[in-house]
Each structure stands twice: as C-alpha cells, then as structure tokens.
Amino acid sequence: MTPLPRIMVAPNGARRAKADHPELPVSIEETVATACTCWDAGATGLHAHVRDAQGAHVLDAGLYRALIAEMATACPDMQVQITTESVGKYVPAEQRQIVRDVMPAAVSISVREVFVDGPVPDFYHWAREAEIAVQHILYDAEDIALLGDEITDGCVPPEDLLALIVLGRYTDGQYSDPNTLVRLVEQLTRVTPNADWAACAFGQTETDCLRRALALGGKARVGFENNLFDAKGKLAENNAARVAAVVNS
C-alpha cells in the first residue's frame, strides 16, 4: 500500500470560503494551481475537497475525477487523496459509494462517521483489494478505541493501516495542544503498532503541533482547511507558506 506523504496539504476543506482568505482555492483550477505551488514548497500530497457551483462542499464523483485528471497533468507525482467528509449532508452509505464511484488512489474516512450506522464488514476489505489507500480519521481517544474494535471484529484490515490524528476540532475555540498528541499516539500504537500516521491541528498552534508530530516519527497535514495563521499569529500569505513553515521547521 502507498505510504502517507511526509507533508500533505489540505488547502480548502469543506467550510471556509474566499471571505475567510482570498487565497483559499474553491474551483478545481484554483485547487490544482495551489497544489502545484505547495508541491514546490515541499508537500507531496493533496487532501482534496471539491465544491459545487455555489462553492458548497459536495461529494461528487464527476468533480473528483476532473480534479484527479487535472492533477495528473499539472502535478503528476503528487498523491491526491479525496475526502468523504459528511458535513452533515451525507450518510455513511453515500460516503462509501463515492469511493466506489471514483476509485481514487487515496481517501480519508472518519471512523466516527462511517460506523455511525454499525459495522461495514466488506467495505474496507474491498478497498484494500482495490489498492485504495484509506486513511482513518481519528478525532479523539474514543475514535481510536472504535478503530481498535473494528480491527478486532474483522471489519478493518490491520495491515498497512493509515491514520490521521486530528487535534482541536472539538475543543473550546478549536485550540490544539501539542501535548495531547503524545497520549493519542501512544494509544494508537497500542491499538495498531505499525500504523503509518499523520497529524493535523486546528488553530494558531498548528505549526507547534505538526513539529511535535514529525518529532514523534509521524507525518503532517497542513493548510487552510484547519488554520489560516502562521506560528506568530499573523494571517498566512497562502497555503504554500504554511507548507514551507512546516517543511522548514
């Protein structure tokens, strides 16, 4: 299975818009252009969201295929990971179906979202056989425990497991504490010792959290999806600047 990129950029996410930052990409063309500048800055992976004509987050197979095709031409060596994020709009069956419809090289899936209706005994084994790199999104200790249960129950293959530890999403003010990462990594290692993991972090402590992740032997996901500011609290120039700050840390 393809390993996680050491640095992945998440340039837009599902919720932010141009009003939040003029350099936040919304269209496929903007996302591809941003990905190319982030590649030059040191990111080797793109965590991709697509938007509809009104700029709203969608799980749309046609748009995802178009983005992947554009990336194959503009930045062919950059891994493209699609998202199945629900944003309260999509149910687990729709989230799983978008993966089957797109057949991406890589996808991120929140364990708390996809298992909300109960076990999905065939999906993860199918994805592994299809050589789709599934990164399991983990927001807290309960998510890691849930992942462990699904591995034990046979729903999630333990081999070549990929994970993303998300810091600060559900804290007051979306504050991310680098020290929280240590105990979550320890728990993940107990559940699945050989996991290939990365971290991302909400808020202005993003840089400190990602430095800690790299120091602990993990990888990093950085970008405007989670944070618009540099380590000093100044509005970042663009996504490439945030990538460079982590690469050079």
Could you give all domains of the chain from N- to C-terminal order, each with its CATH number? 7-247 (3.20.20.70)
Q: Which residue in 95, 45, 66 sits closest to 223, CA to CA?
A: 45
Q: Produce one character per residue of 89-111: b if its CB has 16 or more CB atoms within 10 Å, e if not.
A: ebebeebbbbbeebebebbbbbb
Please give the average per-residue pLDDT across 55-75, as a whole number.
98
Q: Rounded mean pLDDT of the chain?
A: 95
Please give the average per-residue pLDDT across 54-60, as a whole number.
96
pLDDT confidence band for 1 (50 / 70 / 90): low
187 forms beta bridges with none
Calpha distance 97→143 (Å, rounded):
22
Q: What is the pTM of this model?
A: 0.95
Say if CB 52 and CB 77 are below 8 A apart. no
pLDDT confidence band for 175 (50 / 70 / 90): confident
Calpha distance 13→174 (Å, rounded):
15
Q: Which residue in 220, 240, 248, 225 sits closest to 6, CA to CA?
A: 220
Identify the weakest region by mean pLDDT among 37-51, 90-104, 156-170: 156-170
Is pLDDT at 170 greater than 90 in this prediction? no
pLDDT for the residue 249: 76
pLDDT confidence band for 172 (50 / 70 / 90): low
Provide the pairing of β-strand 196-201 with 219-222.
parallel
Summarize pLDDT for 100-117 with one digit per residue, the tens. Answer: 999 999 999 999 999 998
